[in-house]
């Protein structure tokens, strides 16, 4: 939140002048017919991407020199909003004069950057970044058609966030390296999820195979499994790394081994009620039973003894709170 996000505004105010100009007057809008391609001695490629039902669709026309693979002419037609049209136009422009292999390397980020008025100001608002993705996808489609291969063969890596082009492997690595636990943290580190937000969780503008929340869950499970393995193999697991259940078991074991005997001898006992993380501290809530209940020492000497043993055996930030 903050002042700028409170009143909102029109997305059009955030379009660059270039986007506005291209929407008003697209430069490469048009078609290439079979005849025109033949006259150039070129092969005609017509590739479609998107769908009207999704709100944006583009048809890309290439006339490609079959000897050199150079794109001699590049035109587009597009169903979509101003940014979709401007992005398609810019994409068509960037293709011209390049070989098909070079054109495949053009990304949606190149398209967006080409539409900026100044290097540091985005050409479109975040939720419209998605429109430039379509421009990138249609190039791959056209190249695949020209080469007679599958479109996916151009994508060496799985892209999770298409707007910011963040790969699955990058995301997995960054999440683990920095121990990220929230979507906001992922966005801060990688920009993934900052734009059209489709990649965050199901239900967005576009359906995905894997979402950011899935990656967080995957990491969370992985941490749990590691902790469980460590505890099963008897390794000395750090108390702070344990799951709540493991913490409870560990505390129970220390109490059984070191404390309970002492209490029972005095005709009392105790039970563990809850463990809560409180800042750096671990608050262990207990209840005294039998003779301990109401014993003067239960809030002084005995309590300190219990706390000291737990701190020594498990973690120095443990606090014991009798209720």
Partner 1 sequence: MNVYLDNNATTIVDPQVFAEMEPYFVQKYGNPNSLHAFASDTHPGLKTAMEKIYAGIHAPKEDSVVITSCATESNNWVLKSIYFQYILTGRKNHIMVSEVEHPSVIAAAKFLESLGCRVTYLPVNSEGIVEAHTVRDNITDKTALVSVMWANNETGAIFPVEEIGEICAEHNVLFHTDAVQAIGKIPVDIQSFNVDYLTFSAHKFHGPKGVGALYIKKGKELIPLLHGGSQMGGYRSGTLNVAGIVGMGKAMEAAVDALDYEMTDIREMRDTFEDELLKIEDTFVVTPREKRTPNTILISFRGIEGESMLWDLNRAGIAASTGSACASEDLEANSVMEAIGAAEDLAHTAVRFSLSRYTTQEELDYTLKVVKNAVVRLRGISSSYAYAPEGHESGLDAHH
- List contacts with partner 1 (CB under 8 A): 8, 10-12, 23-24, 26, 29, 31, 33-34, 44, 46, 48-59, 76-82, 84-85, 127-128, 130, 137, 141, 196, 205-207
Question: Choosing from 95, 131, 161, 196, which is the catalytic residue?
Answer: 131
User: What stretch of H or E contains 13?
Assistant: none
Nearer to partner 1, 125 or 290 (CB): 125
CB of residue 44 to partner 1, shortest distance in Å: 6
At which residue do the structure tokens 């109490």 appear? 255
Distances (CA, A) of 67 to 42, 64, 289: 9, 9, 90
Phi and psi torsions of 18, nearest 5°:
-60, -45
CB of residue 195 to partner 1, shortest distance in Å: 11
The tokens describing 208, both together, are: 């995905």
Number of Cβ atoms within 10 Å of the Cβ of 143 = 26
Nearer to partner 1, 55 or 322 (CB): 55
Residue 54 annotated as catalytic: yes
Residue 256 contacts by C-beta under 8 Å, 6 or more apart in sequence? none
CB of residue 94 to partner 1, shortest distance in Å: 18
The tokens describing 49, both together, are: 């991407």
CA neighbor of 128 nearest in space, from 142, 115, 119: 115
**Interatomic CA distance for residues 87 and 92, integer angstroms:** 9
Nearer to partner 1, 44 or 272 (CB): 44
CB burial class (10 A; 0-12, 13-18, 19+) of residue 204? middle
**Interatomic CA distance for residues 231 and 29, integer angstroms:** 64
3-class SS at 164? Answer: coil
CB of residue 264 to partner 1, shortest distance in Å: 45
Partners of 286 in beta bridges: 272, 322
CA dihedral 81, 101, 140, 11 (to 10 degrees): -20
Nearer to partner 1, 104 or 131 (CB): 131
Number of Cβ atoms within 10 Å of the Cβ of 35 = 8
At which residue do the structure tokens 């409170």 appear? 6
CA neighbor of 111 nearest in space, from 89, 96, 127: 89
CB of residue 84 to partner 1, shortest distance in Å: 7
Partners of 322 in beta bridges: 286
Nearer to partner 1, 208 or 223 (CB): 208
CB of residue 284 to partner 1, shortest distance in Å: 33
Nearer to partner 1, 91 or 270 (CB): 91
CB of residue 188 to partner 1, shortest distance in Å: 23
Which residues are known to be catalytic?
A: 54, 131
């Amino acid at each position: 939140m903050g002042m700028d996000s409170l009143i909102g505004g029109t997305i059009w105010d955030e379009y660059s002048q270039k986007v506005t100009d291209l929407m008003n007057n697209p430069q490469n809008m048009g078609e290439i017919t079979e005849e025109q391609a033949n006259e150039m001695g070129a092969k005609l490629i017509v590739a479609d991407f998107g769908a009207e039902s999704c709100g944006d669709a583009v048809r890309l026309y290439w006339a490609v020199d079959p000897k050199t693979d150079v794109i001699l002419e590049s035109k587009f037609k597009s169903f979509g909003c101003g940014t979709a049209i401007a992005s398609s136009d810019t994409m068509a422009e960037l293709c011209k004069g390049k070989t098909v292999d070079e054109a495949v390397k053009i990304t949606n980020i190149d398209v967006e950057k080409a539409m900026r008025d100044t290097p540091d100001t985005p050409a479109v608002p975040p939720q419209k970044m998605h429109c430039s993705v379509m421009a990138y996808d249609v190039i791959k489609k056209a190249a695949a058609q020209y080469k007679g291969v599958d479109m996916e063969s151009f994508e060496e890596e799985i892209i999770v966030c298409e707007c910011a082009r963040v790969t699955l492997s990058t995301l997995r690595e960054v999440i683990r390296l920095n121990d990220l636990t929230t979507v906001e943290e992922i966005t801060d580190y990688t920009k993934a999820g900052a734009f059209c937000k489709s990649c965050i969780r199901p239900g967005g503008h576009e359906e995905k195979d894997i979402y950011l929340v899935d990656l967080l869950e995957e990491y969370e499970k992985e941490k749990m499994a590691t902790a469980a393995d460590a505890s099963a193999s008897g390794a000395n697991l750090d108390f702070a790394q344990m799951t709540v259940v493991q913490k409870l078991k560990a505390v129970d074991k220390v109490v059984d081994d070191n404390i309970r005997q002492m209490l029972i001898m005095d005709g009392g006992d105790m039970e563990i009620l809850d463990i809560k993380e409180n800042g750096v501290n671990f608050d262990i809530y207990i209840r005294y039973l039998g003779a301990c209940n109401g014993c003067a020492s239960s809030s002084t000497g005995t309590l300190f003894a219990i706390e000291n043993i737990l701190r020594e055996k498990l973690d120095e930030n443990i606090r014991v709170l009798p209720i």
